[in-house]
């Protein structure tokens, strides 16, 4: 995995949803040779649900023009929201960080929680605690 590339998890056991070499791989069809049936199942592309970022990657997006944040293990790209934040530029306190506590401690409204969805780009890739392996 490159330093700035997300890790995308595909469902490798399902032949119908393998990533293809097709440059435009949305809405492609798959000829499933296992049972001679041509299906029209769309090939899976990266979505926020199968895209993972490390905290090191998140940390690099730490300014108003490139503003990522982790809240409850979700990674958000809030760059387009910076100018719209009702609380103003204080949002930068959470830039490039795990801001779960900061976001919740303000007592944001349910509306604020709902707004998060549209900025979701992935999940936080958390490594297991090394002490657990002993
Ligand atoms: C962790 C970084 C953030 C900090 C420090 C922060 C801080 C604040 C503060 C201090 C206010 C109160 C403004 C006032 O009452 O005058 C506020 C309001 C608000 N913030 Fe944030 N904010 C953060 C992230 C976010 C995010 C990620 C969203 C949504 C995508 C958001 C949405 C809102 C909304 C909608 C309000 C208006 C009041 C409400 O509905 O809760 N904020 N914020």
Query: To test the ligand 1 pocket, which listed residue (62, 93, 106, 107) has its Cβ within 8 A of the most ligand atoms?
Result: 106
Query: To test the ligand 1 pocket, which listed residue (78, 81, 85) has its Cβ within 8 A of the most ligand atoms?
Result: 85
pTM value is 0.77
Q: Indicate the domain borders of the chain.
A: 7-44, 50-124
Q: Which residue has the higher pLDDT, 43 or 69?
A: 69
pLDDT tens for each residue of 100-131: 999 999 999 999 999 999 999 999 998 776 66
pLDDT at 14 over 70: no
Q: Which residue has the higher pLDDT, 62 or 7?
A: 62
Q: What is the CATH number of domain 50-124?
A: 3.10.120.10
For residue 40, give the 3-state DSSP assignment: coil
Q: What is the pLDDT of residue 23?
A: 47
With a 6 Å cutoff on the Cβ, whether 92 touches ligand 1 is no
Q: Which residues of 66-98 are buried (b: 16+ CB within 10 A; e: fewer)?
A: ebbbbbeebbbbbbebbeeeeeeeebbebbbbb
What's the token pair of residue 73?
A: 């293990």
């Amino acid at each position: 995995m490159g330093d700035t590339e997300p890790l995308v998890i595909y469902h490798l056991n399902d032949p119908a949803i393998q990533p293809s070499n097709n440059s435009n791989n949305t809405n492609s069809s798959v000829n499933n040779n296992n049972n001679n049936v041509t299906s029209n199942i769309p090939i899976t592309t990266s979505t926020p649900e199968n895209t993972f970022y490390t905290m090191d990657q998140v940390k690099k997006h730490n300014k108003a023009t490139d503003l990522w944040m982790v809240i409850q293990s979700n990674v958000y790209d809030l760059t387009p929201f910076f100018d719209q934040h009702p609380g103003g530029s204080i949002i930068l306190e959470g830039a490039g960080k795990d801001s779960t506590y900061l976001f919740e401690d303000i007592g944001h409204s349910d509306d604020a929680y709902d707004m998060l969805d549209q900025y979701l780009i992935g999940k936080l890739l958390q490594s297991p605690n090394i002490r657990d392996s002993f």
